[in-house]
A and B are shown apart, each in its own frame.
Chain A
Amino acid sequence: MMLLTGCTQRVWNDPYPNSERVSNILYLSFLERPKHLDPAQAYSADAYALTAQILEPPLQYHYLKRPYTLIPQTLTAMPTLTYLDAAGKSLPVTVNPDLVAESVYELHVRPGIYYQPHPAFARDETGQPYYLPWRTTDRSQIHRWQDFKHFGTRELTADDYVYEIKRLASPQVNSPIFGLMSGYIVGFKAYEAMLAHVANKAGPNDYLDLRRYDLPGAQVLDRYTYRIRLHGKYPQFLYWLAMPFFAPVPPEVDAFYHQTGMAKRNFSLDWHPVGTGPYQLTLMDPNWRMVLERNPNFHGERYPSEGEPGDAAAGLLHDAGKPLPFVDKVVFSLEKEVIPNWNKFLQGYYDFSAISSDTFAQAITPDAQGQPHPSPALQAHGITLETPTMPAVGYVGFNMLDSVVGGYSARARALRQAISIAVNYEEFISIFMNGRGIAAQGPIPPGIEGYRAGVLGMNPVIYHQVNGHIERRSLADAQHLLAVAGYPDGRDARTGAPLVLYYDNTYTGPEAKAYVDWMAKQLAKLKIQMISRSSDFNRFQDKIRRGNTQLFVAGWDADYPDPENFLFLFYGPNSKVSSGGENDANYRNPQYDVLFNQMKYLDNGPEREKLIAQMLAILQQDAPWLFGYFPRQYVLSQAWVSPWKPNMIANNTLKYVQIDPGLRARRRVAWNQPVWWPLGILGGGVLALVASVGYTRRKRERSLAR
């Protein structure tokens, strides 16, 4: 009876409709609206939070296994790979990469997968598309997505995957990965040029039916099979096949959205993506709320039955074999401010919460070993904490083209090493990140092949071993290196002029000064003077592109869990100034480049690990970066959320989340009983004011009468 009362009792501060009280709905918040949802354009975490639940690329990451493991998502098996030489002859898998002219992937789509209901699939009595062409009568009656009355579906085919690959090259779509992929997919550049020519003739926004234009690098073999051809060997391509860029797009949906009047009503792939995934987007109002609901046509998937050692004990295999997704609906509400977001989490109106620096002290209590735990108040609510390390690195780069900090001479190297010792990132993590990070010994974060924790992974240039622990080298070591570099006591030994370095950053807001002052303080330890050059994003990027920097603040988030995705940031041919690549420091070391070219073709294993260790040793000696920190994400979840495992690479993890809506409803009622007495006091105050005014009035009138 009490349970029933708890579930049905209404509280006054509930921001959700009464009808949702005990529904199987997950409530989350978002800070910024996603820029794009079109799979060919979306390239940010806030977009993936939605698109990864809707769209299904051919591959996905196993939810529980570590290291991160790719598995088929819509395929019958992992893609088959054949290497061909220049004559088109098949080569063994272990062949020297230099001999590989082409990599050919064949992918077989599982039959029986259907798309979510969508108006583009609707057919009339004669079997013709209902909304293609979009009749004028319908056009005048349909203004919102809910106004569509006819929906349909169809089976997923290989053609849809190939169509999306072609879209990546379309100048109408302007995909951010076209530049990168044009170096690999056979005929991609020429295809883009041809499409640009066709689009110019047709009009920049007219519909181009890409099925009419063949792309040699992506071809349909039969209804369920397609082939992708790449130049040379590119093993990391499999990771790209797990990203929404390679999710299927049905051509009729693209044609549907290109009709007159669609864009005006925000009916586009960018606003209403279409997929075969566990959820469909049913409300897209990024200024208020975005809602995912269970896709009734979802092909079905089961919760994994195997994971890492320890997963079973953590309760992560309790649901093994159960059908996914667990939650019927996911509601994302816009919360632009930290405080309301946090207070609503405390009231039970959000199921998960990140922790901002404003609420950190209230949320986290470290134990005697310094390990973070939810504060006693949160623990009393049954709130739990996960602290995964993100596959990302925050760093300060040295511009290797700069005449003072750049270059490869012993002096320049010593200068960078001295600064690397002096800038204390343990302190930075403690002050600015509330301890939510790990000081980096190199560019590869935990969870990625090549990372080694503790003494094994120590950067011997910056740290040394003391009683089995690693410790930052002393300031005396840094001063010695600075003297070797020709700047004893922070002054040029030849001219006596003080060493002044420019520090480029994009810091804004009230915390900017604290960041800049901290860095100035670090350099001042070596008596190096620092001038901060804070600029907006555009100016900063412009300086980086031109190589007009000395020290600059930057960061990198992994696209996929492979060391190549971090080590390529130092590969000479990727230099920002010379080629516009992602090597912002413009680092170029021939020995490193040779090792990189060997490493990138290898599978994970001892041989690759050895090469990575050599590459890291070169980087540590050359010190082209201050290897800042690997950020850790602190995520709180409510007591009614079943045990879950953070997966920092996969984005399609909402299907694994399970909640107990009954417990949530009872806790919300218990936590949110209204307090009425302040209103009584307020009412009393108003009455007292009215009474005193009345009293004054009577008094005045009487005094006038006298």
Chain B
Amino acid sequence: MMTYLIRRLAYAVPILLGVNLLTFSLFFMVNTPDDMARMHLGIKHVTQPAIEAWKVQHDYAQPLFYNAREPGWRALRDTLFFNQSVRMFALDFGESDDGRNIGEALRSRAGPSLSIALPTFVLGLWVNIGLALMLVWARASWLDRFGIIATVVLMSVSSLFYIIAGQYWVAHLWRLVPISGFVPGADSWHFVLLPIVVSVMAGVGNGTRWYRSIFLEEIGKDYVRTARAKGLNESRVLFRHVLQNGLIPILTGAVAVLPLLFMGSLLTESFFGIPGLGSYVIDAIQAQDFAVVRAMVFIGSVLYLIGLWLTDLAYTWADPRVRFS
């Protein structure tokens, strides 16, 4: 097990380097440091010396990948790519191009993002699995048929519609919760309630349909017939046997995204005024803030790799037959 984890950790280094290289190449293919400087300095009265000064101030004056003015290996070391990549592997993300500390921004934004994403994830999983089991239990009945139609309808609606409709009815017409906003601490429930409900609703159609198909596949298997033959009632069959055996595909989908919850949701956070990480990357791309883009892509990659590891670990918990070698 330990060998397996160490091997996976070793694989992660070239993957992260590759992601970093790709981010650098793609970003600078579109934007030169001069473009970034112009974007940050504004439109009026911008001069070339000001652009050069900005580049020096923000460490963009170095060559990107190869420094022809330096001898030997320093030609690779004294470059933007090398210096900034090394820093990130030490989890030092430095400052954004507008001079703000990225680590500080991540710390302050992660909490609000998680306050929406984590309950949405847990509640969504619970609701989706619960509804899916109910439909499987009532399979081929009017309830199942109604459920299938309802989930297809729910799937067909854009998530934006749920947000706008939720805000309009619940917050605007019925005035039960604030339309948008956030406060840190215990009072935040007031603000996150509607986004959580809306996000869960937006995922119910997809989730329920998917889990229903997983459970339907399981329910036709021999061990289920054996369980019934033993005289177990339907609830026990579903919750003790079908659910447990259906966990592997559920874990594949769910655990992998668990670390990424930290990254927040762009639409939900924008509409509900949640000061999370959801819009951090988009805002940075629009502002051509490469320092933030680079840091967020790196963190996203790390979290994704962590998600994959967690999935592997979860397999061994869900199915003791799975062993790593």
Contacts and interface: CB of A to CB of B under 8 A. Distances in A.
A340 B50 contact: no
A604 B152 CA distance: 70
Interface stretch (B62-70, B75-83, B100-108, B204-212): B100-108
Given A13-B177, A336-B270, A693-B138, A174 B101 contact: no
B177 A335 contact: no
Contacts of A343: 167-168, 171-172, 179
Contact of A176 (B44, B98, B108, B288): B44
A17 B42 CA distance: 37
A580 B49 CA distance: 12
B273 A538 contact: no
B194 to A, nearest CB: 10
Contacts of B187: 17
Given A36-B98, A696-B143, A205 B57 contact: yes
B312 interface: no
Nearest to A189: B49
Interface in A316-361: 333-337, 339-340, 343-344, 346-347, 349
A303 interface: no
Contacts of B287: 35
A266 B100 contact: yes
A542 B174 CA distance: 51
A546 to B, nearest CB: 13
B175 A696 contact: no
A233 to B, nearest CB: 20
A309 interface: no
Contact of A288 (B50, B167, B182): B182
Contact of B169 (A344, A673, A678): A678
A25 to B, nearest CB: 15
Interface string A365-384: 00000000000000000000
A179 B174 contact: no
A675 B47 contact: no
B42 A176 contact: yes
B225 to A, nearest CB: 15
A673 B270 CA distance: 26
A675 B176 contact: yes
B56 interface: yes
Contact of B42 (A43, A265, A335, A337): A43
A594 interface: no
Contact of B272 (A177, A271, A340, A542): A340
A340 B180 contact: yes
B101 A12 contact: no
Given A265-B101, A285-B275, A13 B171 contact: yes
B131 to A, nearest CB: 10
A693 B45 contact: no
Contact of A336 (B49, B57, B234, B279): B279
A560 interface: no
B264 to A, nearest CB: 11
A63 interface: no
Interface string B95-117: 10011110111001100100000
A270 interface: yes
A172 B57 contact: yes
Given A176-B50, A266-B101, A340 B271 contact: yes
A559 to B, nearest CB: 8
Nearest to A671: B175
Interface stretch (B4-12, B32-40, B241-249, B293-301): B32-40
Given A265-B104, A692-B143, A335 B44 contact: no
Contacts of B171: 13, 343
B316 interface: no
A264 B31 CA distance: 27
A204 interface: yes
B164 interface: yes
B45 A336 contact: no
Nearest to A32: B283
Interface in B279-325: 279-280, 287-288
Nearest to B54: A174
B141 interface: yes
A176 B45 contact: yes
B53 interface: yes
A35 B98 contact: yes
With a 10 A CB-CB cut-off, give which of A174, A180, A343 has the most chain B CB atoms. A174
Interface in A535-587: 537-538, 541-542, 559, 580, 582
Interface in A660-680: 672-676, 678-679
Contacts of B174: 674-676, 678-679
A11 interface: yes
A333 B274 CA distance: 11
A334 B53 contact: no
A340 B38 contact: no
A178 B49 CA distance: 10
A14 interface: yes
Nearest to B271: A337
Contacts of B169: 678
Contacts of B168: 343
B191 interface: yes
A349 B180 CA distance: 11
Contacts of B234: 700
Nearest to B56: A204
B2 interface: no
Interface string B45-61: 11111100110110000
A580 B50 contact: no
A339 B56 CA distance: 42
Contacts of A388: none
Contacts of A5: none
Contacts of A678: 169, 174
A674 B191 contact: no
A94 to B, nearest CB: 31
Contacts of B46: 176, 179
A582 B45 CA distance: 7
A544 to B, nearest CB: 10
Nearest to B280: A287
A402 B69 CA distance: 40
A15 B179 contact: yes
Contacts of A582: 44-45
B175 A12 contact: yes
Contact of B175 (A538, A559, A672): A672
B253 interface: no
B164 A339 contact: yes
A537 B31 CA distance: 11
Given A285-B275, A673-B175, A335 B101 contact: no
B121 to A, nearest CB: 22
Name the 7 nearest CB pairs between A and B, nearest first: A288-B275, A15-B181, A179-B47, A15-B178, A538-B35, A340-B180, A675-B174
Given A11-B175, A263-B95, A334-B273, 11 more contacts: A15-B178, A17-B187, A174-B57, A176-B44, A177-B45, A334-B275, A538-B35, A675-B175, A678-B169, A678-B174, A693-B143
Interface of A: 11-15, 17, 35-36, 43-44, 171-172, 174, 176-180, 196, 204-205, 263-266, 268, 270-271, 285, 287-289, 333-337, 339-340, 343-344, 346-347, 349, 537-538, 541-542, 559, 580, 582, 672-676, 678-679, 692-693, 696, 700
15 contacts: A11-B175, A12-B175, A35-B287, A178-B47, A179-B50, A266-B101, A268-B99, A287-B109, A334-B273, A336-B279, A337-B271, A538-B38, A538-B39, A541-B38, A674-B174
